[in-house]
Amino acid sequence: MSRPAVIRRSVPRSAFARAPRREFRRPREMAVLFAKKALKAAALRDCGRRCVYCGVSLCPESATLDHVYPKAKGGPHVPGNVVSACAACNRMKADMLPYEFFLRNPWAGENFMRYARAVHRALKRGARRAVSLAYAA
C-alpha cells in the first residue's frame, strides 16, 4: 500500500506554543545572589548599620557596598575590603584610594575609623595617617 502524499507548508515559528519561562533560578545564580546578600548583611552588621564615611543610619535597601581599596585599582572583593556606605558617599569616593579620599575629606576619615570595625588594619592605619596629615596642612 502506498502512503498518501504529505503537503508541507512553512509555518512561522510564532504559531508554535512557547514553553513557559522558568520561574526558578539556577543553582549557580542562587549561590552568587546569596553570597552578595550575605556580604552586604555582614558589612552592615560590622559597620553598625551606618555609612562609614558620613555616619548616617542605613537600612539594607539604601545601603551600598563600597570597596575601600577600589576594585578598579586592583582591590580584592573580600570582607576586609568591603564596607557599607550611603549612595552619596559611595559616588563621592568613586574609585579614589582611601588615602586620597581621606586627605580631601578628613571628616570621612574620622567616621571611617569610628564605624569600620571589620576592615583590614592596614587600611585603618592609612586612614589615621591621612586624617592627621589633612588636619596638619
Residue 87 sits in a domain whose CATH number is 1.10.30
Q: For residues 42 and 36, is the Cβ–Cβ distance under 8 A?
A: no
- Supply the pLDDT for residue 57: 96
The answer to whether residue 123 is domain-embedded is yes
- Supply the pLDDT for residue 8: 63
Q: For residues 80 and 118, is the Cβ–Cβ distance under 8 A?
A: yes
The answer to whether residue 129 is domain-embedded is yes
- Supply the pLDDT for residue 28: 83
The answer to whether residue 105 is domain-embedded is yes
- State the total domains in the chain: 1
The answer to whether residue 86 is domain-embedded is yes
Let me know if 134 is exposed, middle or buried by CB neighbors in 10 A (0-12, 13-18, 19+): middle
Let me know if 39 is exposed, middle or buried by CB neighbors in 10 A (0-12, 13-18, 19+): middle
The answer to whether residue 25 is domain-embedded is no
- Mean pLDDT in each 10-residue stretch from start to end of the chain (137 residues)? 65 65 73 89 95 96 95 93 96 95 95 92 92 90
The answer to whether residue 125 is domain-embedded is yes
Residue 103 belongs to what domain range? 49-136
- Supply the pLDDT for residue 71: 94
- Supply the pLDDT for residue 90: 96
The answer to whether residue 71 is domain-embedded is yes
- Supply the pLDDT for residue 39: 93
Question: Amino acid identity, residue 2?
Answer: S
